[in-house]
Amino acid sequence: MKKIFILFSVVAILCGCIFEVTTEEETEEQQDNYNTTNVIKGIFNAYNSQNVNAIMSFYDEGFLHNSDNYYDEWNIWYDRLGMNAKVSDIFVTLYGNSATVSFTLTLDTIIYYVPADGFDDVTYLRKRSGVWKVYGNQSSSEEHYSITIESEPPGANIYFNEQNIYHSTPYTINYVSEGTYTIRVYLMGYNEETRTVYVDEDTTVSIDLEWPINSPIINIDSPENGQIINGDEFKLQGYIPFFYGDKATLNLNGDEQVIEVYCGDFNQWISITDQENEFFLRATNEQGNTGVSDIYHIYKSDEIYDIRIELYWDTDDTDVDLHIWDPDSNHCYYGDRYAIPNACLECDDTDGYGPEIFYQSEVSNGVYFIKAHFYEGYSAENPTSAEVEITFNSETTYFGPYEFTDDGDEDGAWWDVTAFTIIDTKLSIEPSLVTKYNTNKDLIEK
């Protein structure tokens, strides 16, 4: 009886070991399925955000697919942008550290069955150091070369065909087809330098960096250094005297984006996600000298706004202002952007279109008043119309369009948008009350 018991125990232990190994194998396979599926979802989430760099973060640097390398693929995705994508029915086939995927892709209303109907450049993946990325089919009908980029001093950021590749000198780019390429490098404190090279063999590009002379002076009017931002975007506004280029480069938390410049002025809304943010702006003039702004720090508020009021208008080179009065008669406008407790007027847009945005958390019960004032820039030949949006508890109410008939001190420069009453969590529109406040023209001098 004792021998039978021992035999039974051994069998039980062996079965337990087999079961345990099988569970671990299944768990690893399930994890690989999960991770490869998330690669595909991540690519198309980034696509819907119109962010090519985010798309390419899911690609292996050794990507090669039907002769297209990593940098060719960046341009392919850039050309694809513009539609809304939805992915479903993702199926993964695993081969150790390699995998293929298939899925249904809907672009707007067009349905693709991948890879049969295209987009096969996202269907071959491999795992390196535990991370799955798109690797391509590694098929090439062309000979490929390398470009080694060096600078003196080293450490300069590299741009390949105007794409920031987030590597610094010295660095070698592999899998490059024969052709002409633009190489640009930038190191803080030096001028941006650009070279154009034709590649038909392994090539080295060596660049001596130079100190700037008479570099552009970049003035940032908005936001202010140290400003707390309510919401997930801020207005970047300022000017570069005697600058005739059409773009500058914003470095925000180490990531870069192009800022449009028109006659030296720049005015653009920038999205933020981080709590603490550091940014600076640089621009290179026609003489090749690079100027850099001061380094700014701004902070994203944790506080959720209860109400958001936005003013837009439809003409350039015009200045329309948003005016808000709260139940205690506090008047928030460009001259006193923090006049209302727990609130802020985000910025004063003076050169067209807006928006000017008002936020407030912990709203007060009572009557609020909204007016819009056309400060200057009126043209009878090209009249200006404005619209206002009020968002409260995730519900938005729209006003306008309203066409101004004058600017400055004239009656036609004012739009009595509306009044509204807030009682606890309810907002009621009260347009008949808006005339309670007469326009105080002493407050509109800039």
pLDDT tens, 224-250?
A: 899 888 777 888 989 999 999 999 999
Which pLDDT score is estimated for 342?
Answer: 86
Are residues 439 and 315 part of one domain? Answer: yes
The full 3-state SS of the chain, as one line of letters, equals CHHHHHHHHHHHHHHHHHHHHHHHHHHHHHHHHHHHHHHHHHHHHHHHCCCHHHHHCCECCCCEECCEEHHHHHHHHHHHCCCCEEEEEEEEEEECCEEEEEEEEEECCEEEEECCCCCHHHCEEEEECCEEEECCCCCCCCCEEEEEEEEECCCCEEEECCEEEEEECCEEEEEEECEEEEEEEECCCCCCEEEEEEECCCEEEEEECCCCCCCCCCEEEECCCCCEECCCEEEEEEECCCCCCCEEEEEECCEEEEEECECCEEEEEEECCCCEEEEEEEEECCCCCEEECCCEEEEECCCCCCEEEEEEECCECCEEEEEEECCCCCEEECCECCCCCCEEECCCCCCECCCEEEEECCCCCEEEEEEEEEEECCCCCCCCEEEEEEEECCEEEEEEEEECCCCCCCHHHEEEEEEEEEECCEEEECHHHHHHCCCCHHHCCC
Q: Quick one: pLDDT at residue 287?
A: 92
Is there a single domain that holds both residue 125 and residue 52? yes
Domain with residue 60: its CATH number is: 3.10.450.50
Identify whether residues 285 and 355 lie together within a single domain: no
Tally of domains in the chain: 4
Q: What is the mean pLDDT of the chain?
A: 86
Give the range among 21-25, 182-186, 208-212, 326-330 with minimum mean pLDDT: 21-25
Q: Is residue 19 part of a domain?
A: no
Asked whether residue 110 falls in the same domain as residue 83, the answer is: yes
Give the pLDDT band of residue 436 (cuts 50, 70, 90): low
Per-residue confidence (pLDDT) for residue 17, from 0 to 100: 45
| Amino acid 305: pLDDT | 62
Give the pLDDT band (50/70/90) at residue 195: very high
The total of other beta-carbon atoms located within 10 Å of residue 81's CB is 13
**Which pLDDT score is estimated for 26?**
60
Instruction: Assess whether 125 and 148 both reside in one domain.
Output: no
Is pLDDT at 306 greater than 50 in this prediction? Answer: yes
Domain-embedded: residue 250: yes
Q: Report the pLDDT value the prediction gives residue 273, as an integer from 0 to 100.
A: 85
Residue 7 has pLDDT above 60, yes or no: no
Provide the whole-model pTM.
0.56
One domain for residues 166 and 263: no
Please say whether the beta carbons of 182 and 162 come within 8 A: yes
| Residue 186 located in a structural domain | yes
- What is the band of 165 on the pLDDT scale with cuts at 50, 70, 90? confident
19 pLDDT above the threshold of 80: no
From 20-29, 71-80, 295-304, 375-384, the region with the lowest mean pLDDT: 20-29
Q: Is residue 203 part of a domain?
A: yes
User: How many other C-beta atoms can be found within 10 angstroms of the C-beta atom of residue 141?
Assistant: 6
- What would the pLDDT profile of 237-291 be if each residue is shown by its tens digit? 899 999 999 999 999 998 888 899 999 999 888 888 888 999 999 999 999 999 9
Higher pLDDT, 48 or 19: 48
| Residue 231: both structure tokens together | 């919401």
Which of 273, 300, 327 corresponds to the end of one domain?
A: 300
pLDDT tens, position by position, 97-147: 889 998 989 998 888 888 877 788 999 999 988 899 999 988 877 778 899
- Asked whether residue 373 is assigned to any structural domain, the reply reads yes
| pLDDT more than 70, % of the chain | 90
Closest CA to 94 of 30, 40, 21, 19: 30
**Domain check: are 295 and 375 in the same one?**
no
**Tell me: the pLDDT tens digits for 347-359?**
788 888 888 999 8
Q: Which of 16-30, 154-168, 316-330, 348-362 has the highest mean pLDDT?
A: 316-330
Q: Does 426 fall in a domain?
A: yes
Q: Does residue 72 sit within a domain?
A: yes
**Is 393 found in the same domain as 285?**
no
CATH for 223: 2.60.40.10
Q: What is residue 426's predicted lDDT score, i.e. its pLDDT?
A: 84
The model's confidence at residue 443, banded by pLDDT at 50, 70 and 90, is very low
Domain boundary among 75, 105, 134: 134
Give residue 108's pLDDT: 87
> At 364, is the pLDDT very low, low, confident or very high (cuts 50, 70, 90)?
confident
Domain membership of residue 109 as a residue range: 25-134
Instruction: Note whether 318 and 437 are same-domain residues.
Output: yes
pLDDT value, residue 352: 86
**2 pLDDT above the threshold of 50:** no
**245 plus 330 within the same structural domain:** no
pLDDT band at 435 (very low <50, low <70, confident <90, very high): low
In a domain, 214, yes or no: no
